[in-house]
Structure 1
């Protein structure tokens, strides 16, 4: 059975890009924003969440805080096009498994996801 990944990003192009990279090896689901991701996680289990930082309504770091409250063991990768030491540090302090920057390199994404999901 394929491991499950939830991709949460408000940009359709990013969701599609990650889907193309990951769909052969993983079952992919999508959320357009943090609120949708939290609703999804209330109903479904997933092996990994890839979470954008900059999103309308509920940004990625606030979403990560809420995920930690509800599902402390949930594995989360923070993805951003706006890399900064502050967001990387905060992501790590909130328990993100990794912090990756856009645009994504296919091999790096595959390796990072595999390492986090499979150990």
Structure 2
């Protein structure tokens, strides 16, 4: 996968804001595949269904393509955080700081397990 800002840069697997994702080391943007978005519920009081229901669609003249499958991303806002989502694969693109802005609106759950350990466990279960 490549960064939306600079197609020459590969996204790297990283712990971003305490969650697993793919991050651009240059601009700091984060790509969270659909299953990674849903896994936020393990560290925050977060519901994917509420996330989908409460977001507001933004109309933009510039279109970006999903770094995972090439479909057009739609722009949304929720709690003053802006992000782009792929309607096909459900992945979400956050510009630098936007995931942090979003997560500030959810109460965290206490846990001693790191985000990368959780993802490894979920992948083991074929989540």
| TM-score relative to the length of structure 1 | 0.30
Q: Larger Rg: 1 or 2?
A: 2
* TM-score between the two structures when normalised by the length of structure 2: 0.29
- Relative to its length, the structure with more helix (as a share) is 1
